[in-house]
Structure 1
Amino acid sequence: MYTFVSFTVAELFEKVWQTPMIKLAHDIGVSDVAVAKACRKTGIPLPGRGHWAKPEKHRQRKPKPPQVEGKVRFQVLDRGTPPAKPGTDLNSTIVRRTIEAPYQLTEPHALVSRWLKSAKTSKLKDGHLDYGGKRVLNGMISSTLIERCAILFDALIKESEVEGYSWKINAEGKTIVTVNDEPMAVRLMERLDKHPIPPPPPPKRRPGAPWEPNFMSPRSPQFEWASTGELTFQIEARMDYGERKNWKDTKTAPLEKKLSSILAGLSSASVSIKVLREKEEARDREWAEDERRRFERARTTETQRRLRLSLVKHTERWERAERLRAFIKAVEDRLTITPLADQEMAQAWIDWAHKQANVLDPTQGNLALITTLDVELESWFSGPHYGQVEKGWWSE
């Protein structure tokens, strides 16, 4: 059975520069090629050739570690889990066996039968079968690989269902595999070769005929697609960094011999999808908390700004009322020195002027409106004002 060994990028960098590559790969349980490939993907510089054969003082100086976050995972054979003995409980110990696709399709799965029926009647579009929007297995292949694709799908579905996986076609027409309660989209895709189609030769001109331009000859480039027979099984899902999601035909091993690796990859992908989702949810919660604190700060700042504006406004109204009263008092003092002939008219003006000063004076009205600290912000308020900053008494 396989297990996973993970390191952070910083940890793997330190190990690479502390231990020779062959010994490090042996300690992890993988090949030195796998370790070097993982280092190149994450940007970890490797010691040069002959680094460990030199004396320590003549070795290359250790560079700075890459500024990359994340983890590097290696799939290794769990040698501490022995295979199940005859007569023991198979549910307690699960050992993944080697799975190979059969040479002939017999008793196909219901999903495979439905796909096979649609594939045999589908036309080609850009080299791949066009199912016309039918909800069938996602096999982006040419017509030459229908039988092989059906065998691969059938073997994968049947073997995975034994391990508790489930397959379905969703409303969008994607093939969904559910592993450990984690749905993920998968597909089989064939690589096609694209060849340009040369334009037809120009028509021959009769001897002695005058030359005439052919305005119909320019055309957009035409292409044709040729089958390569190379299949790729793809997991269409966002996963944690470094997780495998593609299995391809190679010269030494076709997909038929990689079914065990694909099933193990589906299980690993389900864990990676969950880990990535939990990371994103934690990041979203952190962002939401930061946004809440920012909004509270902005709300407090805006409330303070409006309270100050109200205080200045009331102060200015009170000062104007006091100036009016001072002016009215000066008029009254002057009238005692030089009285008018019509004293009643003068007194009427004084009474009217006092009323106008009282209207302007905020202390003559509802004092609760002046002394309140409650400020009701608009429903659309979302943060600080991005226009020109207003200058007031408290501006620097």
Structure 2
Amino acid sequence: MSDLTVHQGPRRVSREELFKLVWQKPLIRLAEEFGISGNGLAKICDRMDVPYPPRGYWAKKEAGKPVVAFRLPPRKDGILQTTDIYPTPPKPVRPPEAERSAAVATAKVEALAIPKDLETLHPRVKAWIAEHRKEQKEREQESRRRRHETWWTSRLLSDLTARDLYRFCVTSAIFTGVEKAGGRIEKSPVTGRVTFLIATHAVECSIVEKLVKSLKQRDETRKWTAYPDHHQSGLDSSGFLRVSITTYLNGHQRQWIESQKIKMDGLLPEIVGAIMAAGPILEEQKREREEREKRYREEEARRYEARRLREIDDKRWNKFRGFAADWENHDKLLLFLAEVERRALEEGNACVGDIALSDWIAWARERAESLDPLRQGAAEMFSAISRVSQWS
């Protein structure tokens, strides 16, 4: 490998170092060692005001032709002296089970095609058309009933346009393909934001018109559809559909956009395969999530147990310290009691509160002796400490 190796993490370079590197080898080869694209490295050079060889420089140099090398200009205000170059993360790889599901589904719907007439549409899509006709008729009747009420007029519902019907036909084909591949349709609103049920997992998809900004008047931009309220105002139809999987799939979300060269007919098997592959991907996400939750619970249990043991240990230590304090008090009390006995001998066995002085001394000695934690031996003292619990 060259003097610059591929780094897993970011690499910090200065203007001077980057300038030296870009004049040692072609930009695209250097970019590979940084783990980014040549275009990305060129943008970094532009931001840092680092000149790099122009197009054709290396070919001329290899051919022995004269070439011009630039100098590094002085750093201007606002230009960074150093920068961190982050490698582009690798593209996520679909799990093997998802690849198999996609392949099987694609094979099952290889001959899938967009319906040519409304009679062969999927029942769910036929229901959209029937509902539109019903609402259209109801509005017309309501408008006739209220035609003399000048303060209120019901907006009539436009006929379905060619773009509406085309979207319906494509959606019908996708519905049919998903069901043929083993999936189910969970939600199918006329807006095109549909939900499939793949291997018990909900997969949300968007089958909608690709919109573009338009300079037309607001009313003109909304004539391409009978559902203007479903779309953002000020946008117009591009004449192409956009199909996308909107459920998060760990970077495996897919999107398909028609163009002059790419037609939806040729994309249908791939779309259905990707939708079916979402089931195993979501199952893998679920498994990983459950494993993370399990590890979290286990870690929480370990932390709780460590905290519990620390609390018990602290309480046992406090118990031991309490015994030490009792032992110290025991010795002090016995010294004091010895002085009491000495003076009692001088005073005689007087009676205090109907109790003889000797009995008082015996009572004090018994209480003082009870403070000795070692009166039954060290083992018994530590046995008492061992019985301390979290709730003691």
State the Cα deviation string for residues 89-141 of structure 1 (Å, max 9, x = none).
xx9x9475254312322243332233334455679xxxxxxxxxxxxxxxxxx
Aligned to 2:299: 290
1:377 corresponds in structure 2 to: 390
Determine which of 102, 109, 113 is the counterpart of 2:122: 109
SS at match of 2:177: helix
Letter in 2 for 1:315: A
State whether structure 2 residue 314 is matched by structure 1 residue 305: yes
SS at match of 2:241: strand
Quickly say closer, same or farther: Cα 1:146–1:70, change in 2 above 3 A. closer
What SS does the aligned partner of 1:97 have?
coil
Matched positions, count = 275
1:231 to 241, 261, 264: 241
Aligned residue for 1:315? 324
Give 1:377 shift: 2.9
Tell me the equivalent position of 1:159.
177
Distance 1:74 1:370 in 2: 58
Partner residue in 2 for 1:185: 204
* Structure with higher RCO (Cα < 8 A, 6+ apart): 2
Give the superposition deviation at 1:180: 4.8
Instruction: Go from structure 1 to structure 2 and tell me whether the alpha carbon gap of 1:301 and 1:74 turns closer, same or farther (over 3 Å shift).
Output: closer
Distance 1:376 1:74 in 2: 49
Q: Distance in 2 between matches of 1:254 and 1:287?
A: 47
d(CA) in 2 for partners of 1:50, 1:280: 51
**TM-score relative to the length of structure 1:** 0.53
Taking structure 2 as the reference length, what is the TM-score of the superposition? 0.54
1:258 is paired with a residue of what secondary structure? helix
Counterpart of 1:349? 360
- The answer to whether residue 290 in structure 2 is matched with residue 269 in structure 1 is no
**Is the contact between residue 249 and residue 281 of structure 2 (CA under 8 Å) also seen in structure 1?**
yes
Look up the equivalent residue of 2:172 and give its one-letter code. D
Q: Say whether 1:46 aligns with 2:59.
A: no
8 Å contact 1:44–1:66 — kept in the other structure?
A: yes
Determine the structure 2 residue equivalent to 1:205: none
Residues 304-313 or 245-254, more deviating = 245-254
Identity %: 20
Structure with greater proportional helix content: 2
Aligned to 1:253, the other structure's residue is in SS state coil
Instruction: Show the counterpart of 2:221.
Output: none
Cα deviation code 1:157-193 (max 9, x no counterpart):
11222222222239xx974323355442223234556
Is the counterpart of residue 329 in structure 1 residue 338 in structure 2?
A: yes
> Unaligned stretches of 5+ in structure 2?
1-5, 9-27, 40-54, 63-83, 137-158, 218-231
Go from structure 1 to structure 2 and tell me whether the alpha carbon gap of 1:262 and 1:50 turns closer, same or farther (over 3 Å shift): farther
Change (3 A) 1:234 1:67: closer
Deviations 1:24-63 (A, max 9, x none): xxxxxxxxxxxx9xx99xx9413587799687xxxxxxx9
Shift of 1:260: 1.9
Paired residues of 2:244 and 2:255 also in contact (CA < 8 A): yes
Distance 1:224 1:182, change over 3 A: closer
Deviations 1:306-335 (A, max 9, x none): 211111122212322332232112210232
Amino acid across the alignment from 1:154: S
The answer to whether the 8 A contact 2:109-2:180 is kept is no
Counterpart in 2 of 1:21?
none
